[in-house]
Structure 1
């Protein structure tokens, strides 16, 4: 059957697709006929159909329930030092001082990367003029010697 070769070729492009998915795709395609064989979104259909256990396929959809997360509560501030105000005013909104102080020692370059990651990836509202003082503080306190 031409479709079997075609799907195997398409699946080879996605090297991460296990062989059992190829066999399952062949079975599903044979059952569903030409309409299914022409779908361009076959990887998504295939993965959604084969990644769900057979017993769960007919089950009712699951329900997400609200949960409660208790975050650590601490009023501990960073130790006094140059730029302690910058780190206390910016970093304690999301991090406890203990969490930061228990990090491994890092170079100034690594601390800069960590601070910029929190700003760029996690959207930490740190003023650009506070980045240098925060990095200097962290390097002085937890920098490699």
Structure 2
């Protein structure tokens, strides 16, 4: 009888723990949530089978009550904020110096362009792109097109 109670409580606690992990940490429906739901269900089923219908109803009601309280307080309080991502990436490519450049300017590649890489124009490094051509490092390139945050170049002849 004691072993039945331990088995039921352990299965339900592990199952509810896995469901909370699924909701908080693992995005989408994955094996963690399905396994947690199955373990909690098996714990309730063993409670009905081994301990009787009356105790099975009590275990089911207790499980639903504990799960509801745990979910309510875990989302309501700021327990999970220390796991939340608070930083953001605010970097933008070529945004602050784009207006200094003009079509037709010639620069030199720092890295290979495959089709993207780095080139120097007016003593500043810029990320540049080709139309799919490969350009070796230390090669002269010419700006052929300026889009919003994109500099399109070709090998200068």
TM-score range, shorter chain: under 0.3
In terms of fraction of residues, the more helix-rich structure is 1
TM-score between both structures, scaled by the size of structure 1: 0.24
TM-score between both structures, scaled by the size of structure 2: 0.23
